[in-house]
Structure formats: C-alpha cells, structure tokens
Amino acid sequence: MSLLIFCTCLVSACFQGTTTQQKHENVVRVYWHEGAKFSFAVENPETKEITMKSLGGRDSCLLNGARILQDVPVNQKMWIRTEVLHNTSSCDGQIVSIEIHTHSFQDIEGGSWDRGKLGRGITQVIQ
C-alpha cells in the first residue's frame, strides 16, 4: 500500500507546473530510435545548413508517447511541436508531449539505439 502511495506521489509531482510549447520548423528528416525517442534534421532556409536535434528518451516525462500526423503539403517543410514542463521538482524542463507533422509516415526513418550491455541496433520502420 505504501509503495502505491509513493508511486502516485512521484507521478503527480512530475506532472504539476506550467507548460510552454515550442515549434521546430523546416524539418527535412525525422529518425525514430525507439519508443518516443526521435531525432530530426532542421534546415536553415538562409544558409542551407542542417542541424540535428533530439527529443524524448528515457529521462523524458512523456505522457502519451509521440503523435505523428500526416498533414503537411508536399511543397512545404515538415515541423514538430513539443510541450515542455516547467516549475516542477522532478521533471523541470522535460518534454511532456511530441507532435510530429509529416507529409507521410514514410518520412520517418529508422534510427540507431544503444542500451550498453543489453545490445544496440537500428529501428526498422515497417512500410
């Protein structure tokens, strides 16, 4: 019983506070590593430089994993929206939701993962 109360308190402490949304635009490639861990390439429209960013992972506080939407017209760049939790004791600055807006699910490519002694590999996306 005390373990149940402890877990409930731990989870509720993680999800209190305020949230802010961040929009990552000009996404040209999305990699799915495992679970709700993604990385993506963003193109600077002026310099054409590509920057890699990562989202999710074991230390994140994602409530429902990631949502993938196929709603971007072919002639436009993909984009990603994240929601970040603030003012909490255990999850401050952690991502609580990821929304990936793609042209098609086929825009998501398999990414690598590494669990140390437990193995490593590449996620295979099912077409």
Is the pLDDT at 127 greater than 70? The verdict is no
The per-residue pLDDT for range 43-62, each reduced to its tens digit, is 999 999 999 998 876 556 66
Q: Where are the domains of the chain?
A: 17-112
pLDDT of residue 10: 47
The per-residue pLDDT for range 77-125, each reduced to its tens digit, is 999 998 887 766 666 667 778 899 999 988 888 776 666 676 666 666 5
Angle at the Cα of 90 (from 85 to 91), degrees rounded to 5? 25
pTM of the predicted protein model: 0.71
- CA-CA distance, 95 to 3, in Å (whole number)? 26
